[in-house]
Structure 1
Amino acid sequence: MSVQQTGPARGEDSPATVRTHALTKRFRHQTAVDAVDLEVPVGAVYGFLGPNGSGKTTTIRMLLGLISATSGEIEVLGEPMPDGAARTLRRVGALVEGPAFHPYLSGRANLARLDSADPHSDARSAPARIDAALDRVGLLPAATKRFRAYSLGMRQRLAIANALLVPRDLLVLDEPTNGLDPQGTREVRNLVGELAADGTTVLVSSHLLSEVDQMCSHVGVMFEGRLITQGRLDQIHAGTAQTVRVETDRVGDAATTLRELGLTDVHLAGGHVTAQLGEVEVAKIVPALVDAYVPVLGFAVQRPSLEDVFVSLTGEGFDVSG
């Protein structure tokens, strides 16, 4: 299978919080990340999407200077990495497999412990900053509760609070909803939206397509170590054929009319017809059906899901629910 990378052209004039060029990581004879040109626009919620093992976490570790690249270039917040790490990383909050919290300390005490380990933190402002971070993630009422009593969703939110102890220009979240129940997932999704609204660029790594579809403004899709597409989410959806569904009791006549209009891949089923829209104007379809005396009992244009996009690019699917 040959997969071509697509996405915005690289250029110094386009503002980007994160930019890589030909980023590659090899482990002995295995290439985990293969010549990735990543571009995360300023202010975006960028969904870094792909199946487990596709190279997402390895890429993130290189961006944060946790492991070195085999080759390629990395730029974060306008600074080359890893050379600019000392200037850059204090402006970056990250949740990568989560910090190690002490089970018998409260949420507030855990954050105080982690904050004191940061050489750049101000001890005088720590209490106010810690409570502000807890409030931001909705944990202030549970600040004195021991970590061991926190639910999984609360633990994830505490990890995000740790990343927000000081103002951040970039927040990197690796699988932030992994293992969460629907309520915890909604909480994290809403928090990401609030952070982005306040001007923080958020890079969210996930293998959950439905979450990325609801949460993100931009997306990059990894597959077998390669970035196979990236760009605005609406543009990526638009690049995949849309499906028209017509509900009628005259499916044969409806199918004929749709074909005459130029729709393709027409399929008949009991009570409805589906077809690929292609270049046909949506506004022309219902009038044409009415003119052909086809009763239209229901009509919808179905946007392709991210799963459809992934399958169209790779010919394969992956676990969409986790």
Structure 2
Amino acid sequence: MPPSADSSSYAVETRDLAKVFGSQRAVDGIDLQVPTGSVYGFLGPNGSGKTTTIRMLLGLITPTAGDHQILGHPMPAELTTALHRVGSLIEGPAFHSHLSGMANLRRLDAADARSDASTSDQRIHEALDRVGLKPAAGKRFRAYSLGMKQRLAIAAALLAPRDLLVLDEPTNGLDPQGTREVRHLVGTLAADGITVLISSHLLAEIQQICSHIGVMRAGKLVAQGSIDELRSTQTAQLVVHTPDPEQAAQVLARLGIGQVQRDGDVVTGTPGTEPPERISAALAGAGVRLRRFAIDRPSLEDLYVSLTGEGFEVRS
């Protein structure tokens, strides 16, 4: 069955997309849905199928099974039409080291059969300005920092108007400053209305710029949705620090708080749908003295670990 006819709400949509290499099922029938206008974080351990999926989306490799569409265009039937509106950075930038940033972009622009030579210089200057590289336009590529090289690659992806930007590990190998540069750039592009699909291992990057995530594990898409929606599916924990733990535990049990436990002066439980203000009011009304009252929600890292069973690289 092809992706749904009502594709306006999705910049990328797949149905049962799969890729098999010999006996290895690298991507196992995934239904990816990237909302238009979102910054979609595509997460998963190395070898989980993220890059293979991205390569299928962009027509670089042929799916073994399934269907997908990009910006409402069925692929690969309308590949040329769709990809003209898509910019991408896959597995790092590739430029001529002896040429300047501007000269590299001129070569790429000239290779695009659809580009207008009469507006080439204007578009190149605008792309460089957009990624903050205009002052370094005449500098040779080999003298660029890693962050500058990644930004130049994004500038190359933006030489023509784009509705979708696909970035595969854009901060891989970057120092914290380079990571911040790319993260800020992605935020500005999203603010301009460009849908961004970004694969990454960096928790800080995803938390700060992504509105939605999809999590891959062993070729399967194990979860997707907005970050808030997915975090809300995880069980929150009520934590009460009090010199009256026995009394607090009794109050919580009467309220129907689940899994009430005591550990010294700390009482914990699962609040479910009980409003925090009602819990705190009941404790105070019973004379329970509170040193700390909190409902701890699972972090994105907690969610990732619960879905994949693996740690998340954390770097700011």
TM-score normalised by L of structure 1: 0.90
Deviates more, 1:75-84 or 1:23-32: 75-84
Distance change in 2, residues 1:152/1:278 (3 Å): same
User: After superposition, what is the alpha-carbon deviation per residue over 1:116-150, rounded to whole angstroms, capped at 9, x for unaligned?
Assistant: 22222122211111111111111112212222221
Q: How much has 1:257 moved relative to structure 2?
A: 3.0
The number of equivalent residue pairs is 312
CA contact (8 A) 1:210 1:306 kept: no
- Give 1:99 shift: 3.2
Query: In the alignment, which residue of structure 2 is the partner of 1:161?
Result: 155
Equivalence map 1:1-322=2 (5 Å):
11-13=4-6, 15-269=9-263, 272-314=266-308, 316-321=309-314
Question: What is the distance in 2 between the residues matched to 1:306 and 1:84?
Answer: 36
Output the amino acid matched with 1:76. Answer: I
Task: Report the Cα distance in structure 2 between the residues aligned to 1:134 and 1:43, rounded to whole angstroms.
Answer: 23
Q: 1:105 is aligned with what amino acid?
A: L
Contact 2:304 2:312 in 1 (8 A): no
Contact 2:216 2:222 in 1 (8 A): yes
Offset, 1:93: 0.2
Equivalent residue, structure 2, for 1:6:
none
Letter in 2 for 1:289: L
Structure 1: tracts of 5 or more residues without a match: 1-9
- In the aligned structure 1, how far is the partner of 2:142 from the partner of 2:56? 32
Letter in 2 for 1:294: V
Q: State how far apart, in whole Å, the 1-side matches of 2:285 and 2:310 are.
A: 40
Q: Which residue identity lines up with residue 275 of structure 2 in the other structure?
A: E
Cα offset for 1:111?
Answer: 1.4
**Residues 1:182 and 1:251: Cα distance change in structure 2 (over 3 Å):** farther
Q: Contact 2:231–2:297 at 8 Å: present in 1 too?
A: yes
Indicate if the aligned counterparts of 2:238 and 2:270 stay in contact, CA closer than 8 A. yes
Cα distance in structure 1, aligned partners of 2:127 and 2:153: 10
Which amino acid is 2:286 matched to? A
Q: Secondary structure at the match of 1:103?
A: coil
102 and 64 in structure 1: CA distance in 2 versus 1, 3 angstrom threshold: same
Identity within the alignment, %? 59
- What is the alpha-carbon distance in structure 2 between the residues aligned to residue 37 and residue 140 of structure 1? 40
Structure 2 vs 1, CA of residues 130 and 286 (structure 1 numbering), >3 Å: closer, same or farther? Answer: same
Q: Which piece of structure 1 moves more, 48-57 or 264-273?
A: 264-273
Report the CA distance between 1:214 and its aligned residue. Answer: 2.0
- RMSD after superposition: 1.9
Structure 1 residue 266, shift from structure 2 partner:
4.1
Change (3 A) 1:254 1:29: same
AA aligned opposite 1:175:
E
Deviation at 1:309, TM superposition (A): 1.8
Asked if 2 retains the 8 angstrom alpha-carbon contact of 1:307 and 1:317, the reply is no
SS of match in other structure, 1:134: helix
Q: State the Cα distance separating 1:18 from its structure 2 match.
A: 0.8
Q: Hey, what's the Cα distance between the residues in 2 that align with 1:266 and 1:320?
A: 33
Q: TM-score, normalised by structure 2?
A: 0.92
Q: Matched residue of 1:53: which SS?
A: coil
* Per-residue deviation, 1:77: 1.1
Matched position secondary structure for 2:84: helix
Cα distance 1:295–1:78, how it changes in 2: closer, same or farther (>3 A)?
same
Using the TM superposition, give the Cα deviation of residue 267 of structure 1 relative to its aligned residue in structure 2, in angstroms: 4.9
Task: Provide the secondary structure at the position in 2 that maps to 1:40.
Answer: strand
Q: Which amino acid aligns with 2:207?
A: D
Aligned partners of 1:255, 1:107: CA distance in 2, in Å?
65
Residues 13-44 of structure 1 deviation map (CA, whole Å, 9 limit, x = unaligned): 35211111110000000000000111111111
- Tell me the distance in 1 between the aligned counterparts of 2:19 and 2:13: 16
Please say if residues 73 and 82 of structure 2, whose CA atoms lie closer than 8 Å, have aligned partners that are also in contact: yes
In the TM superposition, residue 181 of structure 1 has moved relative to its aligned partner by: 2.2
Give the letter for the 2:6 counterpart.
D
